[in-house]
Amino acid sequence: MTLPPDIGLPSQIYCDETLAAAFDRLALRTGLVEIDSFGLHTVLSPRNRRDALASGLRLTVHGPYGFDIQPGSPDEGVRAQAVAQHRRHVEAAAEIGALLYVVHPDYIEPPGPRDPVVVSALQRTIADLAELQRATGLSIVLENMPGVGGSHFAAPGDLELGELGLALDCGHAAISGTLDAFLAAPRARLAHVHLHDNGGPTDADDSHRPLGEGVVDAAAVLACARAAGATVILEHLDEPAVLASVAYLEAHGLV
């Protein structure tokens, strides 16, 4: 089946193929694709930007992340470098007409206590991203992260997003035990959703399981997303998981 306009798929399920090849396969199932902007699919590639424009698809872009990108670093030089890296990707995403751009905040390994210095750094990054949003006209959304003590953004209100939107990662919220709180009162404008499943707080590996194989209430999430006018990405890591989630949504009358 072809998914409805508000539900899309990530390019990362075909991360070993060119972005053009991924588009060809994804277009058979959806008109909305999230480009994971790293590896073969980076939007910094002029060829990938040309292919994106030629695809005819509606696009969102997930910015790069990892321990080498630290938007919450207390070291101002490191923090500024993270913002600069996102700036390049945001400008490229704006060039291809993306609907929005997803940013990860910090990720703490091993988990630790809340640090007001890091919170302050993240708030400065949010202000910088808001300025970039105004300059490019591209909506920027911040994604909640998994695990108690694993990030300074795991629950509603942990950070003040200001002009930025919220990208609610339902799997991350399930692991943090905060999904119901996000659905009830996100404390920010809900603009985008990553929908996948897991076993909740005991599933520390963030397994990105198919819907129906864990604790995430897909019907409740979709109702909330649709009420907010948010886009939804079935954020799985491979094609079999996507097919299983699509079958689940179809069987439960959610598409």
User: Whose CA is closest to 144, among 59, 218, 235?
Assistant: 235
Q: Where are the alpha helices (H) located in the chain, listed in sequence order?
A: 19-26, 46-55, 76-95, 116-136, 170-176, 179-184, 218-228, 239-251
The DSSP secondary-structure symbol of 201 reads G
Report CA Rg, the chain.
17
Residue 115: CB atoms within 10 A of its CB come to 14
Q: CA 2, CA 30: separation in Å to the nearest integer?
A: 5
Residue labelled with tokens 């939007």: 43
CB-based contact 71:106 (threshold 8 Å) = yes
pLDDT digits 0-9 by tens, 159-200:
999 999 999 999 999 999 999 999 999 999 999 999 999 999
**Burial profile 187-196: b = 16 or more Cβ within 10 angstroms, e = fewer:** ebbbbbbbbb
pLDDT digits 0-9 by tens, 139-164:
999 999 999 899 999 999 999 999 99
**Confidence (pLDDT) at 207:** 94
CB-based contact 191:161 (threshold 8 Å) = no
| Average pLDDT value over all residues in the chain | 97
Residue 1 above 90 pLDDT?
no
Q: What pTM does this model have?
A: 0.98
**Sequence-distant (≥ 6) Cβ neighbours of residue 57 within 8 angstroms:** 23, 26, 27, 30, 31, 32, 33
